[in-house]
Amino acid sequence: MEKIKQLGIWMDHSIAHLMDLTNGAIVQSIIVSEFTHDDKKFGLMKDEKHMHIKKEHMQSGYYKKLSEAIINYQEVVLFGPTEAKNELLNLLKTNHLFKNIKIEVKDTDKMTENQMHAFVREYFK
pLDDT 10s digits, 18-39: 999 988 899 999 999 986 545 4
Q: What is the CATH number of the domain that holds 13?
A: 3.30.420.60
**Which domain does 50 fall in, by range?**
6-124
Number of domains composing the chain:
1
Residue 1 lies in a domain: no
Q: Which pLDDT band holds residue 2 (cuts at 50, 70, 90)?
A: low
Q: What CA–CA distance (Å, rounded) separates 33 from 11?
A: 10
Who wins on pLDDT, 73 or 41?
73
pLDDT 10s digits, 86-120: 999 999 999 999 999 999 999 999 999 999 999 99
pLDDT at 101: 97
